[in-house]
A and B are shown apart, each in its own frame.
Chain A
Amino acid sequence: ILNVEQSPQSLHVQEGDSTNFTCSFPSSNFYALHWYRWETAKSPEALFVMTLNGDEKKKGRISATLNTKEGYSYLYIKGSQPEDSATYLCALPNYGGSQGNLIFGKGTKLSVKP
């Protein structure tokens, strides 16, 4: 089974700080990488799906990069706001991934203090 690692497990930052966290995965048989945000008592929400080495995607203050050769993706949040507090999950399709059977990392729980 595919091993998806996320670090750190949790992060506490002040409002206005910029932050980043990491998703690591085996670099062989890469197909796609998903980032989701999961706020407490809400549904997980897709942020990005990335497929190409060197991909960079941006949505507002959140951006992500992908390095498939070395097996990692970074998620960046610029100027964190309290509403960014959530668990950020990284996921990849299993079995080298033409199917949507995602394997999730354990997530990074972000808390932003006002």
Chain B
Amino acid sequence: KNQVEQSPQSLIILEGKNCTLQCNYTVSPFSNLRWYKQDTGRGPVSLTIMTFSENTKSNGRYTATLDADTKQSSLHITASQLSDSASYICVVSEGGSYIPTFGRGTSLIVHP
């Protein structure tokens, strides 16, 4: 069964600090990997999408990396802001399937 595991489950950092969130997956064959940000009480918002041939993609202060050989991805947040407090969800899609596999998310809290 396809699985997406995210770590840590939760993280607390001070405003202005950097942090890195991890995503490991077993989905095969691989199609793409997405990172979403979900604010409390809102729907997820797309941050990045990476295919097999891409190993890094940035969106402002968010940078995602992908190692398709080890089936690992990370999301690095630079110079965190209070508005970065949210759940960050990793989603992996299997080639030939329209059913994505979602991770449970990492809950990030940024304190002033």
Q: Do A and B bind each other?
A: no
